[in-house]
Amino acid sequence: MAPRGRKRKAEAAMVATTEKREKLANGGEGVEEATIVIEHCQALRLEAPELPVKVNPAKPRRGSFEVTLLRPDGSSAELWTGIKKGPPRKLKFPEPQEVVEELKKYLS
């Protein structure tokens, strides 16, 4: 039988870890409502703040991670696709700077 109080300590440590993550994601500020932070979107928003970022406008395909630039004329440019990359799984996700460099090519 496990000693008493041990479970509570583990739960308290988990809650503290979660709170630390939330503070780091928000620049140290508390949040009033649930928020999702996607690191890659932050890099794109810093590079081109005038462009709106849509996350999953339609149901995503299984195993896909893509970043696409939709132009006003109706055409699109693929900035990143991880569909045919991997294993390992980490190859399916780009470094934020790679996506930003691709975006710069299409905006200039």
Model confidence pLDDT, tens digit, residues 49-71: 888 888 888 888 887 788 888 88
Residue 39 has pLDDT above 70, yes or no: no
Residue 42 has pLDDT above 60, yes or no: yes
Kindly report the pTM of this predicted structure.
0.58
Residues 6+ apart with CB under 8 A from 91: 82, 85
Q: Is the pLDDT higher at 57 or at 23? A: 57
Contact between residue 82 and residue 64 where contact means Cβ atoms under 8 Å apart: yes
**Residue 14 amino acid letter:** M
**Banded pLDDT at 101 (limits 50, 70, 90):** very high
Q: Furthest-apart CA pair in the chain: how many Å?
A: 68
Residue 48 has pLDDT above 70, yes or no: yes
